[in-house]
Amino acid sequence: MTNQDTTRTYRIAALPGDGIGHEVLPAATRVLDALGTKHGLDFRWEHQEWGCEYYRRTGSMMPEDALSILAPTDAILLGAVGAPGVPDHVSLWGMLIPIRREFDQYVNLRPARLLPRVPSPLVPERVAGLDLVVVRENVEGEYSRIGGRLYGGTEHEIAVQESVFTRRGVSRVMDYAFDLAARRRGSLASATKSNGIVYTMPFWDEVFADRAAAHPDVTTSQYHIDALAALFALDPTRFDVVVASNLFGDILTDLAAAVAGSIGVAPSANINPERRFPSMFEPVHGSAPDIAGEGIANPVGQLWSSVLMLTHLEETEASEDLMSAIEQVLDDGVMTPDIGGTASTEDVTTAVIERLGAR
Ligand code: NAI
Ligand code: MG
């Protein structure tokens, strides 16, 4: 439906970050403005130039009151952070991780599916019909700040890193995955490693069995992460929804993105399902310093992340419209070099806007 008589307004924080974030984020805001005109959505962009340049000037990735600036927005659209010369743990822990944790974005949602003409490195028979979603736990697990180092530089040097798994944290991310599976093809696989990791992973499995009992409509399976990784390459189409801890989900989703064809098209959503805080939408890729400034960054990962944002805002029609415009443009062969084309970021952006207007 077009030209609706009520306009819905959204305050969206637009954070390009670094590198190609400055190319793909503006592409997405232009496309979303065009989509908004068509569907009666008014995006009020709140641009923030935070990231590594800001860090070089001020010594921090974002201002002290950044979270209170973001809190009243309806969603956060982020490009990518990271730049040569700034250690990656500084940029990650200075911006992305505080936003994910303080806003309790405990679900990291990463769909992987084949887009038209985007070549998978796997043989076509093996990936035909690939359509899976990884639900990664996003605020606890293996990525904790509990631990320490002792006896630095000596031959007795020790490094200890604790994992944190809580019943509340594991249950809620699994419940989200069960609900999602029930709305899709009804199957949920759990990534575990309870043969090698003897406390946290058997606990993970127990909570999975407990939550499965509360969701009898969903068929479940579980795999050790090593075998699961092999299956992602050998037989990825058997999966519908996969739930994984923070570390396992991180690794699996890069693998899923590679199997689906390119890191440049993969989207992600950091979601606070209770909507107490804004959720954050960002492509899976990083700031790609090797191609930054050349105008050839693939905007599809950022655009698909915008689709996830629209779904979260419950703008289903606009979300479906944008996804099919992206797919048509790829099907027309308008593609950036990373997926085998010759188009620029600008070409793809303009083509998507034209496609939206043509329907
Ligand atoms: P990367 O994803 O930035 O780049 C990996 C390779 O993929 C590069 O060859 C790059 O040119 C290509 N690539 C990535 N996105 C592309 C796109 N949209 N279009 C065309 N080609 C694309 O990963 P890398 O090189 O490991 O990291 C670069 C920086 O990004 C580092 O500082 C890293 O910490 C940061 N990073 C940030 C992330 C985030 O903001 N969530 C995620 C991953 C990395
Ligand atoms: Mg990763």
- Report whether 246 contacts 141 (CB < 8 A): yes
- Using CA atoms, how far apart are residues 231 and 237, in angstroms rounded to an integer? 9
CB of 286 within 8 A of CB of 82? Answer: yes
Rounded to 10°, the helix 316-331/300-312 angle is 160
Domain 1-114+265-359 CATH (choose: 3.40.50.300, 3.30.465.10, 3.40.718.10, 3.30.70.250): 3.40.718.10
CA distance 11 to 37: 15
CB 222 within 8 A of CB 192: yes
Token duo for residue 66: 């950044």
Question: Among 240, 236, 257, 166, which residue's Cα sits nearest to residue 207?
Answer: 166
- Pair of tokens at residue 140: 């606890």
Give the residue ranges of the chain where pLDDT is below 50: 1-3
pLDDT score recorded for residue 288: 97
Residues whose Cβ atom is located within 5 A of ion ligand 2: 250
- For 192, list phi and psi in degrees, rounded to 5: -135, 180
Indicate if ligand 1 lies below 6 Å from the C-beta of 263: yes
pLDDT value for 359: 67
Tell me, what's the pLDDT at 4?
A: 52
Measured in angstroms, how far is the CA atom of residue 174 from the centroid of ligand 1?
29
CA 355–ligand 2 middle distance (angstroms): 32
With a 6 Å cutoff on the Cβ, whether 343 touches ligand 1 is: no
Q: How far apart are CA 335 and CA 264, in angstroms?
A: 11
CA distance 178 to 220: 9
Q: How far is the CA of 224 from the centre of ligand 1 (A)?
A: 28
- The CB of 73 under 6 Å from ligand 1? The reply is no
Q: Is 287's C-beta closer than 6 angstroms to any atom of ligand 1?
A: yes
Name 148's Cβ contacts closer than 8 Å, sequence gap at least 6.
159, 160
Ligand closest in space to the Cα of 138: 2
With a 6 A CB cut-off, is 118 part of the ligand 1 pocket?
A: no
| Other Cβ atoms within 10 Å of 3 Cβ, number | 8
Is 345 close to ligand 1, i.e. is its CB under 6 Å away? Answer: no
Residue range(s) of every CATH 3.40.718.10 domain in the chain: 1-114+265-359, 120-260
Q: What are residue 107's DSSP bridge partners?
A: 137, 271
Query: φ, ψ for residue 227 (rounded to 5)?
Result: -70, -35
The architecture that CATH gives domain 120-260 is: 3-Layer(aba) Sandwich (3.40)
Ligand 1 atom with minimal separation from the 86 CA:
32
339 lines ligand 1 (CB under 6 A): no
Q: With residue 56 as reference, give the H or E element that holds it.
A: helix 52-58
285, 303, 306: residue to mutate for ligand 1 pocket, most atoms within 8 A of CB = 285
Structure-token match 């029609």, residue found: 317
Positive or negative: CA dihedral 230, 234, 235, 240: positive
Cβ distance 283 to 24 under 8 Å?
yes
Kindly state the tokens that stand for 115: 């887009």
How far does residue 223's CA lie from ligand 1's centre (Å)?
Answer: 29
* Pocket flag, ligand 1, residue 285 (CB < 6 Å): yes
Of 106, 112, 107, 109, residue with least CA distance to 239: 112
What's the rounded Cα separation, in Å, for the pair 155 and 199?
Answer: 29
Measured from the CB, is residue 306 less than 6 Å from ligand 1? no
Length of the chain equals 359
- Ligand with smallest separation from the Cα of 96: 1
pLDDT tens-digit map of 40-84: 999 999 999 999 999 999 999 999 999 999 999 999 999 999 999
Q: Count CA atoms within 13 Å of residue 313 on its CB side.
A: 28
DSSP 8-27: EEEEEEEEEESTTHHHHHHH
pTM, whole model, 2 decimals? 0.94
Question: CA 320 to CA 322: how far, in whole Å?
Answer: 5
Q: Is the beta carbon of 288 within 6 A of some atom in ligand 1?
A: yes
